Chain A
Amino acid sequence: MTEIRLQVKPVLRAVVPFVIALVLGGFVLLATGHNPFDFYQLLVREAFGGTDRIASTLSSATPLLFTGLATAIAFRAGVFNVGVEGGFIMGGLVTATVAAKMPGPLAIPVAMLAGAAAGVAVSAVPGWLKARWNVDEVVTTLMFNFVVTGLTGWLVTSFLQARGVANSATPLIPQPNWLPDLLPPYALTSGVLIGLILTGGYAAWIRLSMLGYELRQTGLNARFAAAQGINTSRVIIVSMLLSGAIAGLGGATHALGIVHRFVDGFSPGYGFTGIAVALIGRNSAIGVVVGAILFGALASAGTTAQLFSDIPLDIVDVLSGTVMIFAVIRLWRQR
């Protein structure tokens, strides 16, 4: 009996916010004269109906896989990192710059490492401040997002601007340095594989390694973990650095795989959707994968559904924001 409950509860916890969001979104659609059932059917068809649609969904899920994983790894340690957006953007800019300048076969790995390092640089300061002086990481990481946005904008317009391009963008990355496509006619790059490998690595690491154990313990109860002899400051810093590295890698694969340069509006809030992904996936590896695919499906299907119906893409924001809110509320009494 208890075994069944243990199985059902996490699934319910992931599904219920989504269902509530669909219902509330349905009311919005109904109130504006649209049939929600038709629209949701269209969404499902556009998200999963055919190889090209599935490829497009996975492609949209790829950045969310990274930002969701980056968020989950920090949340798991009890560190409330909402600065993944900043790491993603900084990683994208640095990778795009390196890959545009560097020839040769090593360009892709070097550019990706540089992107990861950029993400680490963004998360290191709030992580250290939290570990050393217990500075509230929620506010500092949130603020760092805005700082990074301004900083990257400034770097692009004053130093890295491509010649002959009207809006602020870095030069195009030469084609040999693009991430190879998986299913050639469709825009699904090998970035999704990198994301899945990282997620698998996270699952094994958190379960099997010493540090993974310490991370989980710190997340469950930091004071008890400290009493056990775990160096919680170190755990906090490690989780923040890993989170930053994954966020930076996410930006790197997005630059090398999809955008092929860095432009203004490089991330339409992938970092924030990543929070929703981590929350709905309860910070587990499999949950992050499922969450990323769900939100990726929403984004990719919403974009094409916009073409076939007069329903604007903004409905997707309404849905994902609602999921975020309902993923953190207590839907039933705990215990």
Chain B
Amino acid sequence: MIQGLLHSSLLLWTPLVLAALGGLLHRVSGVVNIGLEGQMLGGALIGAIVSQQGWFLGTLAAGATGGLLGLLMSLCITRLGANEIIAGLGFTIVISGLIGYLLRSVFDVSGTLRVNGLDPLPEILGMDPLFWLAIVLIPAITWALRHTAAGLRLRATGDGFDAAGALGLPVNRIRDTAGVLAGVLAGMAGAHLVLGQVGLFNEDMVAGRGFIALAAFYFGRSRPWATALACLLFAVFDAGQARLQTEGVPAQLIQTLPYVVVVVVLTATAVRDSRGKARRAG
């Protein structure tokens, strides 16, 4: 029982943490990425189709799709001055509209696409490769942010955009790179949904996970380990939903938990910041 819960929690954790780590990198560079949801959906569709050539190519194609969408979104933000929230919402609406349109007019299905010869993710040591990728990425990103020139530049861009620019850092290109990386990871998260969990594509399959990933890196305050733990918390609640429901806790309320957590964390952070400021001023 517990083992089953653990396994399904880790299964649900993988796409969340992949997308959240991507969003985290983008956040560190100073951009709030609202487009993860759409990038996951795009990755899921392309990943499902290309996986006819094998899961590895499918996952790569999903990452490439997400990366391309991430690049387009980032260019709108960095080069054309679009507001990041509107651009993110707009991209998510366009992508889900486009996918619904293609499903109905090209594939001639209503919402659900069964891909013949879809190649599910294999198991390595009891878990799928993307799970292990996530496990490797958490310490890797932690280390890279702290100890590499690229990590320092990324942080500098986020902490002081103008100052970093004045020092000659290519701040827009750094943000674009972070946006592409976020897209790649979100696209792979989408591939995990379709190749690692469900086995077919549905236009509603991402179901807010991009926003839960957003919640996770807010909760984790853009630190990789804390973000991964936040994802685990949300995944355990998601996996335990059915059990909790039989105990009388309604599923709809559990599902709102990540979002409530974000509001609480943001408030706590803001209160602390304003107290700190008041102390410094006084």
Residues in A lying within 8 Å of B, measured CB to CB:
28, 32, 34, 80, 82, 125-126, 129, 133-136, 138-140, 142-144, 146-147, 149-151, 153-154, 157-158, 269, 272, 275-276, 279, 310-312, 314-322, 324-325, 327-331
Contacts and interface: CB of A to CB of B under 8 A. Distances in A.
Nearest to B255: A150
A131 B266 CA distance: 14
Contacts of A125: 263
B90 interface: yes
Contacts of A312: 100-101, 104-105
A329 B85 contact: no
Contacts of B99: 314
Given A143-B215, A317-B94, A319-B97, 15 more contacts: A28-B98, A133-B270, A142-B211, A143-B211, A151-B252, A153-B252, A154-B253, A157-B252, A314-B99, A315-B97, A315-B101, A318-B98, A321-B94, A325-B82, A331-B80
A142 B277 CA distance: 27
The dominant DSSP class at the A interface is helix
Contacts of B96: 317
A147 B99 CA distance: 26
B160 interface: no
A136 B99 CA distance: 32
B44 to A, nearest CB: 16
Nearest to B271: A133
Nearest to A316: B97
Contacts of B262: 139-140, 143
Given A133-B267, A133-B271, A314-B100, A146 B208 contact: yes
30 contacts: A28-B98, A126-B263, A129-B270, A135-B267, A136-B270, A139-B32, A143-B263, A144-B263, A146-B211, A151-B252, A151-B253, A154-B253, A157-B250, A269-B93, A314-B100, A314-B101, A314-B104, A315-B97, A317-B93, A317-B101, A318-B101, A320-B97, A321-B92, A321-B94, A321-B97, A324-B93, A327-B86, A328-B86, A329-B82, A329-B87
A325 B94 contact: yes
Contacts of B92: 321
Interface in B66-95: 76, 80-83, 85-87, 89-95
The dominant DSSP class at the B interface is helix
Contacts of A325: 76, 82, 86-87, 90-91, 94
Contacts of A133: 267, 270-271, 274
Contacts of A324: 86, 89-90, 93
Given A310-B105, A314-B98, A314-B104, A328 B82 contact: yes
- What 5 A-B pairs come out closest when comparing CB atoms? A317-B97, A321-B93, A321-B94, A314-B100, A150-B256
B266 A140 contact: yes
Interface in B246-273: 250, 252-253, 255-256, 259-260, 262-263, 266-267, 270-271
Given A146-B256, A324-B89, A330 B98 contact: no
Contacts of A146: 208, 211, 255-256, 259
A82 B271 contact: no
B91 to A, nearest CB: 7
A311 B266 contact: no
Nearest to A279: B86
A54 to B, nearest CB: 25
A53 to B, nearest CB: 23
B48 interface: no
B250 A138 contact: no
A188 B263 CA distance: 39
A126 B271 CA distance: 14
Contacts of B214: 139
A32 B105 contact: yes
Contacts of A126: 263
B38 to A, nearest CB: 9
Contact of A328 (B87, B101, B253, B270): B87
Contacts of A328: 81-83, 86-87, 90
B106 interface: yes
Contact of B89 (A272, A314, A316): A272
Contacts of B253: 150-151, 154
A133 B218 CA distance: 17
A78 to B, nearest CB: 12
A275 B93 CA distance: 12
B60 interface: no
A1 to B, nearest CB: 26
Given A28-B98, A133-B270, A135-B266, A311 B32 contact: no
Contacts of A276: 90
B34 interface: yes
Contacts of A140: 262-263, 266-267
Interface in B105-133: 105-106
B250 A154 contact: yes
**Which has the most chain A C-beta neighbours within 10 Å: B34, B100, B101, B215?**
B101
Contacts of A318: 94, 97-98, 101
A21 to B, nearest CB: 9
A201 B105 CA distance: 44
Contact of B90 (A28, A34, A153, A321): A321
